[in-house]
Amino acid sequence: MLLADHSFNASTFAARVAASTRADMYGSVTAALATLQGDLHGGAATAAYRTLTEVKTPENAEAVRPRDPRSRTTHYGHGASRVQVRDPRAKHLEAMAKELSAYAGRDRLYETAHAVEEASRKVLQEKKPGNNDLRKCGFLHGAGASRSRNPGDEFTCLFACGRIAGWTGHILEQLADNRLIRPQATYDGPGRGTVRADRQAGGKRRTGLTPRVLVVPAIDLRSGKCVRMKQGDPTTATEYDGDPVERAAAFVAQGARRLHVIDLDGAFGSGENLAAVERICKAVEVPVQTGGGLRTVMHAERAFAAGACEIILGTLMVEDERLARNIINRFRAK
């Protein structure tokens, strides 16, 4: 019970992200287990135990004063930086650690854990004077003593045993009312790549571009409005902006250098929004690519005539590749 998942921790979230892609139970639990293994999560127990094996005796704790690479102020076993009070599990873990250490004849390990905790507290005071944050100060005890009869590299597996119930509960809940978890990303790096010339072995020159990411905002149109759908289901379409031209202008004002416009009515065969696409192309000075319902040469011709710089052929490439190739060859210059 002490090791069961609590709040929306990293491994539980990883399980739900995997489940949201419709991965099965095994795949979702595996994602959670892989996340739990990290030193900043469940793997901290193993890292704490390694610290104890390095210190060896209580007398060495002050001299070693191990640093935790994940933070400027904390050590493995002291918990995440967001924890501002002593972990409520620490009291119980400490009591069990002391009892099990005595039972296993490893009292010195418990004493070493206690000494490392005090040394870590001093490091915290040096970095942040007056900060009495105890955090998970019993975790070193739990890692180094209560599991004293298990190899250190098995700690994460034992940790996972207590979390399986919570993980599977979250996975089943996600699958019962699923929505793909796919956060938006905002690129804030250099706007343009620069050409560079490098020397390879043998004196030959090669050129290349520095890495660059281009974020292209998408506008999905239905009945002339900007909408979003859930997993491509037209019955779930919800309007988020009434005027696509205003939305396009807002994207450009925020720095967009290209727009991606999809005609959902055309894609589902229930009409078209070519007039709205044309209005967008006339209103902005950035390239606009469009798609949705482009299934004939005439459709492609009208899209280019509306001002699109590129067209997108999706369904047609699957249903009639010959026609799609004909359109590509006909409008290759565009």
Give me the domain span that covers residue 227: 218-330
Dihedral sign of CA atoms 275, 279, 282, 287 in order: negative
**205-209 and 195-199 beta bridge pairing:** antiparallel
Indicate whether 279 belongs to any domain.
yes
CATH of the domain at 280: 3.20.20.70
- State the Cα–Cα distance between residues 65 and 123, nearest whole angstrom: 8
Q: Edge-to-edge, what's the strand order for the sheet holding 288-291?
A: 233-241, 225-230, 218-222, 259-263, 288-291, 310-312
Whether residues 139 and 243 share a domain: the answer is no
Whether the per-residue pLDDT at 56 is higher than 90: the answer is no
274 and 132 share a domain? Answer: no
Per-residue tokens: 27: 């795949």
Region 62-77 average pLDDT: 48
Residues 126 and 236 in one domain: no
Cβ neighbors of 114 (< 8 A, separation 6 or more) are 58, 141
Q: Identify which of 125-129, 137-141, 170-174, 181-185 has the greatest average pLDDT.
A: 170-174
The alpha helices in 201-273, defined as continuous H runs, are: 244-253, 264-267
List the structure tokens of 316. 């047609």
Query: Phi and psi (nearest 5°) for 178?
Result: -80, 145
Q: What value does the mean pLDDT take over residues 56-72?
A: 58
Tokens found for residue 126: 């040096």
**Residues 150, 142 contacting (CB under 8 angstroms):** no
Per-residue model confidence as pLDDT tens digits over 121-145: 776 667 666 655 544 444 444 444 4
How many structural domains are present in the chain? 2
Is 280 in contact with 261 (CB distance < 8 Å)? yes
Q: Is 191 within a domain?
A: no
* Extended strands (E) in the chain: 195-199, 205-209, 218-222, 225-230, 233-241, 259-263, 288-291, 310-312
CATH number of residue 120's parent domain: 1.10.230.10
Paired residues of 260 in beta bridges? 218, 289
Mean pLDDT of 14-38: 94
Q: Do 157 and 251 belong to one domain? A: no
Cα separations (Å) of 294 from 124, 271, 281, 303, 308? 64, 12, 17, 8, 12
Domain membership flag for residue 194: no
123's tokens: 């490091």
- Residue 180's CB is within 10 A of a number of other CB atoms, namely 10
The mean pLDDT value for 289-308 works out to 91
φ and ψ at residue 222, rounded to 5 degrees: -145, 125
Same structural domain, 243 and 169: no
Query: Of 131 and 179, which is predicted with more confidence?
Result: 179
CA distance 9 to 1: 16
How much is the average pLDDT of 206-217? 66
